[in-house]
Each structure stands twice: as structure tokens, then as C-alpha cells.
Amino acid sequence: MDLVEVNPYLWEIPRTGGMNVPGRIFADRQLMEKAREEKALEQVANVACLPGIVTASLAMPDIHWGYGFAIGGVAAFGMNDGVISPGGVGYDIACGVRLLRTDLLAPEIKTTIPGLVHELSRMIPAGVGRRGNMKLSPKELDDLMTGGVPWVIEQGLGRPEDVEAIEDGGVLDGADSSMVSARARERGFDQPGTLGAGNHFAEVQVVEEVFDPRAAAAFGIDKDQLCVMVHSGSRGLGHQVCTDYVKIMGPAAARAGISLPDRQLACAPISSREGREYYAAMACAVNFARCNRQVMTHLIRQSFEYVFKTPAERLGLELVYDVSHNVAKFEEHETEDGKVRLCVHRKGATRSFPAGHPDVPAGYREVGQPVIVPGDMGTASYLLKGTKESMSLSFGSTCHGAGRVMGRRAAKRMIQGHELKARLEAQGITVRAGSTRGLAEEAPEAYKDVNRVVDVCHRAGLSRKVAKLRPLGVVKG
């Protein structure tokens, strides 16, 4: 495949064949080498073939081989001539990350960390197919999917101010629960407040380094502070919504005369019945995912109260922000045709809106939107801020994580789960994992260097570094 180095952090796949726009990948030489070994670039080119795509088919520096879209993919479509694709959002709809800050200093409570991690692992149900303690009636599930986090807070699971620190105020408009299948509801009704498995985690972290004191101060972040990060998504409900609509959209694409380079790219015109119905169901799953993280936030606050014998409010535990990195949203962007409304798909990419943008919470509007990037469990995670440049470079998007470099089988062949646990504990990281094999799949060696990924985003202008967080304790499924 032809690849042109535009600058040290940007590569272009020129338009050929059925591509409607070029492909653009943000990466340095080393990250690009990795991406070239897989079929990720082919996937970027495939997305460029979809109707109504605007400007370019993009990929962030954590690009890796996915199914349909590459992971790290960003694609925007015109509202009149463009499509919406369930595969372009992914199975784990609104999978995302939230960060809580505390008033505690990590060095002062060092000896309490193992007990805290144990309590968190006891309180937060984790693992494959694990059910939660919240079992919603059909009416309550409807209310949760359409009312989002504000509804969950009305039930007493959170603080009113939490909604300010969630994209869309914690509730994505346009959700219609009648578009969510009985099977999706059955899979989800008892899963709010559950972590799941795979790369999902809850981590106790310490702020190791602050790069941008002004932004960090606005986000309430300072060196040595204890924080909690949660990475999870829409669980079985979201997976089923995607499964249901990928099936519907295969024939829908054929009826609309769209030829697909890959069946996983099944899509429908945004304004078609199938397109509108998918969006309404997806919005339900987006709200579900945010509510899932909100219920876990409540469980985290309860765990801290139990361990520190102090009301959660007095320990801080405020929500810094909550991002969704698998999602399609309607947003306004400047293009060659002026200001237009677009359907932006982010599949393993995070929104990165700049200072002054109306969608950035009032308290952060002078510095930009917080971007939370979870790393692998042995290295680090990052807090970044959105930039003005990202609006013209990537429809206001940046990376979502480190990105895998090693297959799961390969990781399990190379790394023993119990050895990894011992190694992490020797580094001072407490680990509570349901499955040691699952732990091995998520070993640091299986991931790209998150430091490099975040640096490339910083230099390319997609986001700016604010602070680096180091894990002290990990809870996994």
C-alpha cells in the first residue's frame, strides 16, 4: 500500500480505487512500522470507501488491527449523503474511562492501598458475564436508557454535580428504548455497576507528574494525589445492540446501493429508517455505559468510606471527567464547505475539544476538555486536554489508549499470569484479578508504549499532556 510521509507525525494513504477520500494516520516512524505489519492500514482505506465520508479516513497514533474499522479510527460523514455504521462504533458501545480525584495524598496512605484495593474488588462485580446488585424493572431500564446519569443520580447513586463532568451532561439525546431488542434488555437489566472482563479495570493511581500546572489546577489535579480510574462500557446490552444492528444493516446497505469492502462495515444512510433506529438504540447503550460507570463510582465512594471510616464527601472523590471512546455523535465542524453538522464515528478514539468550545464543561472551558487515556497496568495512564488544532486535524479527536501490539494468545504463551502478578506486586502494584490467564492477556508487553503514543498526540497537536498517573492498585475481571 502507498504511504506518504506528510510530516514526522502524519502519513497519508493516497486516494485510489473505491476510496472517496484519502486515509490519514497520525503516527511517528516507529508506531507506523507496527501499524504496517497488520491489516490496520487496509482497514483505514476501506472506511475511506464509505459514502459521504468527509475530508479523510483518520487513525490516531494507537492505531491497530480491528474488525471493520481499525481501532483508533475516526470518520465523519455528511448528514445528507453520509452513513452511520454500527461496526464503526463497535460492540462495546460507549466503552470509556472516568477519573475520580481524591483529597488524599498517596505517600501518606501507602500502607492502606492493599486493603483499599481488596475492598474495591469486593464491592465491584467483575469478570465475564458477572451480574450486578442492581436489577432493573423494564420501566426502570427504560428510564435509565433514556434518562442517563441524571436518572441514576435521582436514585441516590451519585452527586448532582457529577453530571457536569460527563460528556453530554451524562445523557445523549435521541435515545428511544423501543429500538432496543428484548434480548439486549435481558442481557443488560442486571449489569449496571459491573466492570466486565478483558481490558476493563478499576485502578487506584497516584499523580506522578504534572506537565501543565494551569490545566491540572483547573481539573483539580496535583502531584502525589490519589485518584481512581475506571475503564468499562455498556456490557451485554451494548454488545447485543451492535449485533442486532450489524445484521439489519447488511441488507440495508445493499438496498441503498452501497457496496461494502468488508461486511463488518455494514451501514445505512443516516437519514434512513435503519440509520435513525440504530442511532436511537445506540444512544440507549451510550446512556447505559455512562450509568454503568456512575453506579461503579457510587460503589467506589462506598468502598473509600468503609476503608477510611470517613464520609466520601470529606475524601473528595469528585468526578474529573468521563469520556466515551467508542461512539458516533452528531457534531458541528468546520470543513471546506464551512460549518457543517457531521456524524463523527470514534472507534477507539477520544473526543478532544478545545478551550472555549460550548461542549466543554464551564469549569474547564478556559483550558479545554479533559481527555483520559488509560495505559496498560504496569506503566501509566494520562490526563490530557483537548486542543484547537485537533478540530482541524481530526474532527476534535485524539488517542484512547496504548493500543495492542501482541495478540492475546501470543501474550498468554509468553507471559504467565501468576508471574506477572508477582512482578507487578514487586513494583508496588496491588493486583486483584478474577482470572490470571486474563491478566496475562493484558500484560504491559502486549501494548505499545503509552508514553510514546501520548507524546505523538502531543506533538501532532491532537491533545496536550496535563498529568501522568501511575497505578498503585488494579482490579480486573
Partner 1 sequence: MKTFETIEHTADIGVRSFGATEEEAFENAAFGMFSLLADLELVSDEVEFPVIVEGEDRETLLVEWLNELLYIYESQGVILKKFHVSVLEDTRLEGSAWGGHIDPARHEIRTDIKAVTYYQLQVTRTEKGWIAEVIFDV
* Residue 129 makes contact with partner 1 by CB under 8 A: yes
* Residue 92 makes contact with partner 1 by CB under 8 A: yes
**Cα 314 to the chain's mean position, in Å?**
29
Q: What does the alpha-carbon distance between residue 96 and residue 122 come to, in Å, rounded to a whole number?
A: 22
Give the nearest distance from C-beta 183 to partner 1 in angstroms: 7
Phi-psi region of 476 (alpha: psi -120 to 50; beta: other; left: phi over 0): beta
* Residue 209 makes contact with partner 1 by CB under 8 A: no
* Residue 114 makes contact with partner 1 by CB under 8 A: no
* Residue 98 makes contact with partner 1 by CB under 8 A: no
The closest of 281, 372, 331 to 96, measured between CA atoms, is 372
* Residue 132 makes contact with partner 1 by CB under 8 A: no
The piece of 102-110, 194-202, 275-283, 373-381 that touches partner 1 (CB under 8 A) is: 194-202
Q: Establish whether 400 is a catalytic residue.
A: yes
* Residue 262 makes contact with partner 1 by CB under 8 A: yes
For partner 1, the closer CB: 18 or 407: 407
The piece of 65-73, 204-212, 300-308, 465-473 that touches partner 1 (CB under 8 A) is: 65-73
* Residue 64 makes contact with partner 1 by CB under 8 A: yes
- The DSSP result for 404-466, as a single string, is B-S-HHHHHHH--HHHHHHHHHHTT-EEEES-HHHHHHT-GGGB--HHHHHHHHHHHTSEEEE
The closest of 36, 72, 389, 91 to 239, measured between CA atoms, is 91
For partner 1, the closer CB: 28 or 442: 442
For partner 1, the closer CB: 264 or 394: 264
Place of cell 462500557: 233
Q: Do residues 219 and 364 lie in contact, with contact meaning Cβ atoms separated by under 8 Å?
A: yes
Within residues 424-453, the interface with partner 1 by CB under 8 A covers: 435, 437-438, 441
Report the residue from 18, 138, 311, 407 that binds partner 1 according to the rule CB under 8 A. Answer: 407
Give the nearest distance from C-beta 254 to partner 1 in angstroms: 9
Residue 388, C-beta contacts closer than 8 angstroms, at least 6 positions apart: 354, 355
Tell me, residue by residue from 361 to 400, as one string, x for binding to partner 1 by CB under 8 A and - for no binding: ----------------------------------------
Burial of 279 by CB count in 10 Å (0-12 exposed, 13-18 middle, 19+ buried)?
Answer: buried
* Residue 243 makes contact with partner 1 by CB under 8 A: yes
Q: What does the alpha-carbon distance between residue 159 and residue 138 come to, in Å, rounded to a whole number?
A: 25
Place of cell 435509565: 144
Q: What is the dihedral of CA 172, 177, 179, 181, to 10 degrees?
A: 120
* Residue 474 makes contact with partner 1 by CB under 8 A: no
Q: Do residues 348 and 88 lie in contact, with contact meaning Cβ atoms separated by under 8 Å?
A: no
For partner 1, the closer CB: 174 or 407: 407
Count CA atoms within 13 Å of residue 300 on its CB side.
29
Q: From the CB of residue 256, how many other CB atoms can be counted at a distance below 10 Å?
A: 16
* Residue 87 makes contact with partner 1 by CB under 8 A: yes
Q: What does the alpha-carbon distance between residue 257 and residue 255 come to, in Å, rounded to a whole number?
A: 5
Instruction: Please give the size of the binding site for partner 1, defined by CB under 8 A.
Output: 44
Give the nearest distance from C-beta 247 to partner 1 in angstroms: 7
* Residue 250 makes contact with partner 1 by CB under 8 A: yes
* Residue 1 makes contact with partner 1 by CB under 8 A: no
**Cα 49 to the chain's mean position, in Å?**
25
* Residue 239 makes contact with partner 1 by CB under 8 A: yes
Give the nearest distance from C-beta 287 to partner 1 in angstroms: 19
Give the active site residues: 400
The residues that touch partner 1, with contacts defined as CB under 8 A, are 38, 64-68, 71, 87, 90-92, 127-129, 183, 186-187, 196-198, 236, 239, 242-243, 246-247, 250-251, 262-264, 266, 404-410, 435, 437-438, 441, 477
